[in-house]
Amino acid sequence: MSDDKYAQSRAFDALNPRGLAGKREYVRGLEQRSDVEALSLLVECLCDESWYLRDLAEESLLRMGEKGAPVLVPLLEQGLWYTRASAARVLGRCAYRPSVPAMLRLTEDANETVAEASRVALVAIGRGGGAISLARSLHELPADERYRRLEAIRAKDRQVGQRVERLMRQDDLMSAEGGDLSDESPMVRASEEGLDLEVLTAPSPDEPRPPRTDGPRGEAADA
């Protein structure tokens, strides 16, 4: 790509992403720019058929943290299955708490790869300071939905599920005004005083990454 500025300012279909190096260079340039247009183009990368390009975009968005996370939340409820799965993975690894309500709905997605990505993401959010966000979002659901989604979390990580259930029993936490509580909020910490927080927040065993089903690793799948 001899003219980076030109290539990055065009819609993605104007780029000719033939080699692996070209794709890496393209995504790296977008990450370095990190402006509104660059974020939009990274989202387009998540919608591309190329597994390799999507993976590069996921890693870039992850490094951008909360700057890139808000643009991913709408993708949880629209687009192709692999785009929804990519968005869930990034948001989970960022432990982005505002994504919890949409992520809970995704646990019953018709595509099992998407549903599994959302369950893994919710556990990661619960481990990353968002157990109270899970509890409050679950509490707002009808009883049958609440139970199913809590069971999905508990099946992935028993400790996170138990902590969320315990927090849901705290009426003051469930009714607290002020929106975005975190697990470090004084109210939450006070409610868990005396509990073994080291156990509550200890990392769980690594979950295996769901296998890709859109083609073999590499560019052969994109041809």
The pLDDT of residue 6 is 38
Q: Is residue 29 part of a domain?
A: no
Q: What is the DSSP letter of 12?
A: G
Q: How many domains does the chain have?
A: 1
Residue 222 to residue 102: CA distance in whole angstroms: 30
- Least confident span in 11-15, 50-54, 117-121: 11-15
Q: What percent of the chain has pLDDT over 90?
A: 68
The pLDDT of residue 18 is 58
- Reply yes or no on whether the pLDDT at 211 is more than 60: no
- Reply yes or no on whether the pLDDT at 66 is more than 90: no
18 neighbors 52 (Cβ within 8 angstroms): no
Tens-place pLDDT, residues 145-204:
999 999 999 999 999 999 999 999 999 999 988 767 899 999 999 988 866 544 444 554
The pLDDT of residue 144 is 93
Please list the helix, strand and coil fractions of the chain in percent, rounded to the nearest 5, in that order: 70, 0, 30
Q: Is residue 116 part of a domain?
A: yes
- Reply yes or no on whether the pLDDT at 60 is more than 70: yes
| 3-class DSSP assignment, residue 177 | coil
Task: Name the nearest CA neighbour of 162 among 127, 190, 205, 210.
Answer: 127
The single residue listed with the structure tokens 């597994």 is 51
Q: Is residue 75 part of a domain?
A: no
Residue 40 to residue 140: CA distance in whole angstroms: 32
End-to-end Cα, the chain, rounded Å:
20
Query: pLDDT higher for 110 or 12?
Result: 110
- Reply yes or no on whether the pLDDT at 219 is more than 80: no
- Reply yes or no on whether the pLDDT at 1 is more than 80: no
Tens-place pLDDT, residues 3-51:
444 344 443 443 454 588 889 999 999 999 989 999 999 999 999 999 9
- Reply yes or no on whether the pLDDT at 217 is more than 60: no
The pLDDT of residue 78 is 87
Q: Is residue 122 part of a domain?
A: yes
- Quickly state the pLDDT bin for 86 (edges 50, 70, 90): very high
Q: Is residue 100 part of a domain?
A: yes
Q: In what helix (H) or strand (E) does residue 70 lie, and over which residues does it extend? A: helix 69-72
Q: Is residue 166 part of a domain?
A: yes
The pLDDT of residue 223 is 33
Q: Is residue 43 part of a domain?
A: no
Task: Name the nearest CA neighbour of 180 among 148, 140, 144, 134.
Answer: 134
Average per-residue pLDDT for the chain: 83
- Quickly state the pLDDT bin for 65 (edges 50, 70, 90): confident
Residue 1 to residue 22: CA distance in whole angstroms: 7
Tokens representing 114 are 């998407």
Domain that residue 102 falls in: 96-204
Query: pLDDT higher for 9 or 69?
Result: 69
Q: Is residue 22 part of a domain?
A: no
Residue 99 to residue 121: CA distance in whole angstroms: 10
- Reply yes or no on whether the pLDDT at 212 is more than 70: no
What's the Cα-to-Cα distance from 125 to each of 42, 79, 89, 170, 223, rounded to whole Å? 23, 23, 11, 20, 36
175 neighbors 98 (Cβ within 8 angstroms): no
